[in-house]
Amino acid sequence: MADVKLIGTPLCPYVRRAIIALSLKKVEYEFLQEKFGEKSELLLKSNPIYKKIPVLIHNDRPICESAIIVEYIDEVWPESGCGAILPADAYHRALHRFWSFYVDDKWFPSLFAVGKAETEEAKAEAVEQVRAGLLLLEEAFVKLSQGKAFFGGDRVAYLDIMFGSFTNWIEAVEELVSVELLDEATTPALHGWAVRFREHEAVKESMPDSGKVLEFLKILQAKWKKDAAAARN
């Protein structure tokens, strides 16, 4: 049996991607939990360039970056569990990768900015950016799902994993700053997808409760405020 380990923390959405992919493929692995604010010797050794989670270790060989890890899992265990994670069609694969890059490069930073905002004006601006991004992702879902349950059609696929790992973070941010972001009236298709995704058997047992994410966000928010105050002095 292959020796598979995953370095990470349960609340990290990037780590969640690897967990979901491994679950979909029914790959057994050992979870090596990092402590918040610390970096283990194994992590630093396994990812000396970026020094961050997640890291997948397969037969003593480290693979870094969540997107690369998900694709690696898909390639190494192609016939396991659910079958392929990446779409078979080259154009659809490109679209899944494009929108996954958009989520990481543009959308999630705007979601983080909501929690980091120091003024009501800054918060309102960040909220609008998040909502605008969700409208774009709603259009992408309609196009890629072709009327079916997931971005991958009948099954959870690459973009489902890459974006879906943030669904409980959306709920936590909504609670943190008392706003509604992913609502059924504005983005009905995406709202329904989020519910189905989190109820999927490969997701629901391992997805952390949004309340735990909220607690973590409050810790982060306190740190952000402290850092911002220090920077002004």
Closest CA to 13 of 167, 143, 119: 167
Which of the four pLDDT bands, split at 50, 70 and 90, describes residue 95? Answer: very high
pLDDT at site 113: 94
What proportions of the chain, in percent to the nearest 5, are helix, strand and coil? Answer: 60, 10, 35
- Domain harbouring 37, CATH code: 3.40.30.10
Which of the four pLDDT bands, split at 50, 70 and 90, describes residue 233? Answer: confident
* Residue 121 CB neighbours (<10 A): 9
In a domain, 82, yes or no: no
Residues 68 and 171 in one domain: no
pLDDT at site 144: 97
Single out the residue in 50, 76, 102 at which a domain terminates.
76
Determine the average pLDDT of the residues in 92-102: 98
pLDDT at site 2: 66
- Domain harbouring 191, CATH code: 1.20.1050.10
Under 8 Å between Cβ of 209 and 198: no
Each residue's pLDDT tens digit, 46-94 = 999 999 999 999 999 999 999 999 999 999 999 887 789 999 999 999 9
Domain that holds residue 132: 90-214
pTM of the model: 0.94
Determine the average pLDDT of the residues in 16-26: 96
> Per the structure, how many domains does the chain have?
2
Residues 125 and 33 in one domain: no
For residue 52, which amino acid is it? K
Each residue's pLDDT tens digit, 197-223 = 999 999 998 888 889 999 999 998 888
Each residue's pLDDT tens digit, 151-186 = 999 999 999 999 999 999 999 999 998 999 999 999
Single out the residue in 23, 49, 76 at which a domain terminates.
76
Farthest-apart Cα atoms in the chain, separation: 57
3-state secondary structure 104-159: HHHHHHHHHHHHHCCCHHHHHHHHHHHHHHHHHHHHHHHHHHCCCCECEECECCHH
Residues 154 and 189 in one domain: yes
